[in-house]
Amino acid sequence: MAIEKRMFGRTGHMSSAVIFGAAALARADEGTAERVLDLLLRYDVNHIDTAARYGESEVHVGRWMERHRDRFFLATKTGERDYAGARDGIARSLERLRTDCIDMIQLHALVHPDEWERALGPGGALEACIEARAAGKVRFIGVTGHGWTIAAMHRRSLMRFDFDSILMPWNWVAARHPTYAADFERTAALAEERGAAIQTIKGIARGPWAAGVTRDRTTWYQPLEGMDDIRPSVHWVLSRPGVFLCSAGDVGLLPLVLEAACEKISRPDDAEMAALSERTGLSSIFGL
């Protein structure tokens, strides 16, 4: 079983269409993390996305990565906004990931305008990322975020700096948001024009956790759980040429997402997605 490979922007790397979202390992024990990461080999997933903020994720990935480094495009993130913090954070991530070079460092959750100005301005985190790239410690630089304003913010980011990738939400609900859908399309068009990879998240989000529902998943939102619901959601995202889907932050859902992505990708029609929405109560996880 192998998941389709796609060119990851202008990096030259053919990445698996599903990128492993290593937030799922934030609170995992060592044994669980090893089993989950071994699953990536089975499905030929060759791209891992983690972050300094994801608990013990970098530690777990680094321990395992020592044996498999040459098989993976390895990305992490810094949530720091100033130069010194990002410089030190990148050094710490390199140590935790047990590698001399990270394939991509990303500015994590760059949503708020004030933080955006600090991170991309003089003495900001971006300067540390550029310095690390020049020193051969990272190869590429990206930017991530979520929420209904992030597509517009990413467009602003791409106009300020030539980022190699962007990461933002995309699913059936997002495509029907009154302003986000248009922002997503404009930003995606600019990213494609610039050769920046487009990573998507929240592909199997169902909605906010409902009152009285047992939170038995490690996602902060309530996810879809059955294959009959996950399959069309995964296929809906991946049927868009050139985009990537980051897997959900729950180890139990990962096999279902990977299984769905291994199948021939066929875009569900509007009627099928509307039926899924009616059946599961799909709703916004970011409020109105």
* Closest to 204 measured CA to CA, from 221, 187, 180: 221
Of the pLDDT bands very low, low, confident and very high (cuts 50, 70, 90), residue 31 is very high
Alpha carbons 132 and 23: distance in angstroms, whole number: 24
User: Which two structure tokens, joined as six digits, stand for 52?
Assistant: 């300094």
Please, which residues have CB within 8 angstroms of residue 124's CB and are 6 or more apart in sequence? 81, 82, 83, 86, 118
The enclosing H or E element of 19 equals: strand 18-21
| Mean pLDDT score, 214-222 | 96
Residue for token digits 């990413």?
154
Is the full-model pTM beyond 0.75?
A: yes
Cβ pair 106, 144 in contact under 8 A: yes
Residue pLDDT, tens place only, 124-151: 999 999 999 999 999 999 999 999 999 9
Residue pLDDT, tens place only, 52-93: 999 999 999 999 999 999 999 999 999 999 999 999 999 999
Of the pLDDT bands very low, low, confident and very high (cuts 50, 70, 90), residue 287 is confident
* Closest to 121 measured CA to CA, from 82, 150, 149, 154: 82
Cβ pair 78, 105 in contact under 8 A: yes
Alpha carbons 220 and 208: distance in angstroms, whole number: 8
Per-domain residue ranges for the chain?
5-280
Q: Which pLDDT score, from 0 to 100, does residue 79 have?
A: 98
**What does the mean pLDDT of the chain come to?**
97
Top-level class of domain 5-280: alpha beta
Q: Report residue 258 CA to chain centroid gap.
A: 15
